[in-house]
């Protein structure tokens, strides 16, 4: 059930707005609820209400026998070094969260159902929900596959009162966005709406799942200050630990702390930001477009692979990464002049190599040849646990391509003969 919340508590004297004054800006943060897991539940609705973990291998895909009975992989049967991509709220109640090692998750929730990730499906649903939002409020900052910021300030009706509710207009617009997302995708989302991005990010988490939280600056003491400092985006575990050493656990305690002492401990820039963030101050605009620096694909292997004995498998993996990367570039309308590789060896030693060309590359074959040139400069003295490919120095495909453009040279010759891989 969707819940709307705004506090009736009076504002702190240090805060500039009250409930009687509608903020000049309304910024929303929309976060899809357990996005990857929710997409999978559309495919397997019979799993709703159960602890489900996304992060398995293709072999972990559900299968249906001749009688129509479904059979699912369970966490207890998993072996390997994979990590949890996401989990349903039922699995989270058992302690299983994203980025957790899958083997550790199996100890906490052995009977949870394990599904493989389908990123093509997730990207498709991501495009659907963002298009649905744009129909209502077109000023959007894309923050990833499952979250966006939305500037609602100029959306018709957002500043209107509804009855005795001065915030009724902004609530109505937020509900319309939520309904549009559900109609387009069958999925739920949570929205926080406040005068700025920092507060909206926090607010979107307050009533998950399927939440709608509208706050003004007057609500900060009652709704934000009791929260732990980690709830503020930009305060990570190291900063939180330092704040804890200073006796600061909550956002309210941070707001009340002497700014000078924060600056002494954290430096001028970050110390001043900590104080401003605790007071809910944030002037950042909603950025509607930004150019990516690079586009990459990588994969972690289920077992460490040997450069010689597993040469064929590594070659197939590299081919697939290059094909997926080329598809990403084509879909986003980019080519790139720099191709790089990333290798992580046993012991977690990571090596990167890249090479820049006078003309951009985009096709899988071009990326593959360029990656081969990079690989010639790596000493494969240990087993591999991760392989990645990146294209940077991005340009529009037609910008630097001419009739006289030289193709990426083949990774051949005497130097290539010494390459034990691919």
Q: How far apart are the first and last CA of the chain?
A: 53
Asked about 147 being catalytic, the answer comes back as yes
Q: How far is CA 300 from CA 60, 126, 311, 345, in A?
A: 17, 24, 16, 11
123: β partners: none
Which of these is catalytic: 147, 207, 217, 366?
A: 147
Residue pair 339/374 in contact by the 8 Å Cβ criterion: yes
147: β partners: 31
What is the DSSP track for 30-70? EEETTHHHHHHHHH-GGGTTS-EEEEE-GGGS-EE-TTS-E
Give SS3 for 320.
helix
d(CA 226, CA 252): 6
Which residue in 229, 161, 215, 208 sits closest to 27, CA to CA?
215
Q: How far is CA 398 from CA 281, 360, 365, 394, in A?
A: 43, 9, 18, 11
Residue pair 346/305 in contact by the 8 Å Cβ criterion: no
Mind telling me the catalytic residues?
A: 147
């Amino acid at each position: 059930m969707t819940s709307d919340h705004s506090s009736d508590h009076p504002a702190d004297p240090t805060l500039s707005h009250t409930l009687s004054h509608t903020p000049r800006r309304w910024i929303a943060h929309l976060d899809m609820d357990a996005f990857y897991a929710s997409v999978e539940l559309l495919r397997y609705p019979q799993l709703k209400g159960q602890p489900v973990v996304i992060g398995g291998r293709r072999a972990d895909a559900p299968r249906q026998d001749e009688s129509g009975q479904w059979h699912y992989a369970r966490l207890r049967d998993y072996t390997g070094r994979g990590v949890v991509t996401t989990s349903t709220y039922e699995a989270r109640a058992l302690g299983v969260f994203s980025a957790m090692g899958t083997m550790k998750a199996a100890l906490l929730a052995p009977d949870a159902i394990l599904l493989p990730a389908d990123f093509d499906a997730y990207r498709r649903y991501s495009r659907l929900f963002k298009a649905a939002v744009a129909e209502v409020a077109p000023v959007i900052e894309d923050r990833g596959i499952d979250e966006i910021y939305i500037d609602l300030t100029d959306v018709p009706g957002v500043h209107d009162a509804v009855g005795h509710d001065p915030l009724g207009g902004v609530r109505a617009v937020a509900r319309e966005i939520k309904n549009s997302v559900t109609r387009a995708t069958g999925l739920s989302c949570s929205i926080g709406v406040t005068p700025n991005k920092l507060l909206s990010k926090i607010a979107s988490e307050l009533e998950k799942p399927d939440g709608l939280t509208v706050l003004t600056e007057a609500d900060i003491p009652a709704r934000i200050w009791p929260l732990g400092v980690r709830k503020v985006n930009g305060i990570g575990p190291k900063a939180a630990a330092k704040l804890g050493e200073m006796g600061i656990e909550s956002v309210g305690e941070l707001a009340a702390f002497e700014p000078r002492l924060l600056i002494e401990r954290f430096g001028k820039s970050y110390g001043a930001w900590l104080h401003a963030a605790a007071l809910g101050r944030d002037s950042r605009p909603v950025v509607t477009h930004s150019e990516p620096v690079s586009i990459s694909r990588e994969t972690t292997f289920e077992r460490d692979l040997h450069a010689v004995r597993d040469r064929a498998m590594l070659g197939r993996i590299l081919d697939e990464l290059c094909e997926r990367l080329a598809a990403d570039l084509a879909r986003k309308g980019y080519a790139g002049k720099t191709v790089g590789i990333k290798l992580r060896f046993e012991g977690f030693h990571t090596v990167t190599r890249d090479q820049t060309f006078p003309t951009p590359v985009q096709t899988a074959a071009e990326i593959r040849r360029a990656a081969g040139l990079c690989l010639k400069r790596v000493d494969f003295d240990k087993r591999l646990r991760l392989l990645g490919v990146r294209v940077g120095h991005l340009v529009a495909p037609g910008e630097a391509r001419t009739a006289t453009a030289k193709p990426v040279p083949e990774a051949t010759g005497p130097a290539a003969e010494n390459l034990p891989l691919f």
